[in-house]
Amino acid sequence: MPDRTTRRRWPYPLAAALGCSGFGVIAELVNNTRWADLFHFPTPVLLAPPAGLALIGVVLGVRRGWDHRTAWLTCAAALAGTLAGSVLHDLSTGGGALYPMAIPLLVIGYCGPVFLGLLIGARATRAELPSAPPDQPAEFLAHARAATATIADPKERAEAVAELLDHANSRYHEALAAGAAQSAAVAATLAELGDPAEAADDFGRAHRQPITGATIAILAGVVACFVALLASGLSVLLNSEVTAFGLLGSMVALIGLGGFGVFWLRRSR
């Protein structure tokens, strides 16, 4: 059974969005029952979304290492899911169940657990660098370690070292099979492996997570979320709920349109 290393990233934001919107829907369903108090502040049930997000963060960290891009997407999806659940609630009750000033706290309460979980998961899978096989010269391991020194994620680095060692081993045994002496085979293999410092630069670039348009859009969306919600909170304080929910609606539309725009731009690139 092959061990798949390229893992999908969409399940994490999807799980966050479904979990958080589902939580809102359940809160709505039990609204007029004896369970309604469970969903009113302060109760332990309200810790379920951050706990679930922390769990998603741990799984993400274990499976993909320090993948902050997917973590940001997961935070944004969790917020979008919560807002969707809240809007549903507001439409059915005709009022504002989600107090606008609480949303900035939600941003912290959601992003914090996701990144904490990510940190725990990524650290838990710290992989030891592989050792050289007994039939392989130690120079190859030293070369592979030097060439991969710029890969920050320990798991990815361990995999890269294993891959380079396998390559060196194939080349070395090929040279031996062609009749080369052991020292000549080692020298030929090292010459073919190239300059480890140059490879380290290239590996560093290949494993760096670039700040993409999507990341900038998400961060801009989170900032817009803060600004809009602070403004709507102020308008609530000034007894203008119509303005408050207008701002909330605009914000949801803005995030939705922004997400669609980023998706469209990435597809058409």
**Binding positions for another protein, rule: CB under 8 A:** 2-6, 147, 159-160, 162-164, 166-171, 192-196, 198-199, 202-203, 205-207, 209
Q: What are phi and psi of 194, to 5 degrees?
A: 85, -175
Shortest distance (Å) from residue 180 CB to another protein: 17
CA 214 to each of CA 76, 198, 223, 258: distance values in angstroms, whole numbers, following the listed order: 11, 30, 14, 9
At residue 225, the 3 state secondary structure works out as: helix
Q: Which is nearer to another protein, 37 or 202 (CB)?
A: 202
Closest C-alpha among 229, 228, 217 to residue 258: 217
CB of 258 to another protein, least distance (A): 21
- Looking at the Cβ atoms of 191 and 242, the one nearer to another protein is 191
Residue 3 or 32: the one with the smaller Cβ distance to another protein is 3
- With contact defined as beta carbons under 8 Å apart, do 127 and 154 qualify? yes
Using the minimum distance from each CB to another protein, give the nearer residue, 98 or 193: 193
Q: Least CB distance from residue 81 to another protein, whole Å? A: 24
Q: Which is nearer to another protein, 61 or 100 (CB)?
A: 61
**What distance, in Å, lies between the first and last C-alpha atoms of the chain?**
35
Q: Is the peptide bond before 137 cis (omega within 30 degrees of 0)?
A: no
With contact defined as beta carbons under 8 Å apart, do 112 and 91 qualify?
Answer: no
Q: For another protein, which is the closer residue by CB, 11 or 22?
A: 11
Find the shortest distance in angstroms from Cβ 94 to another protein.
44
Length of the chain: 269
Q: Which helix (H) or strand (E) holds 223?
A: helix 213-237
Smaller CB separation from another protein, 90 or 166: 166
Whole-number minimum distance, CB 87 to another protein, in Å? 32
Amino acid of residue 234: L
CA 60 to mean position of chain CA atoms:
6
Backbone dihedral angles phi then psi of residue 208, each to the nearest 5 degrees: -80, 140
HSE, CB side, 13 Å, CA atoms: give it for residue 10: 1
CB of 124 vs another protein, minimal distance in Å:
20
State the minimum distance, in angstroms, from the CB of residue 151 to another protein: 9
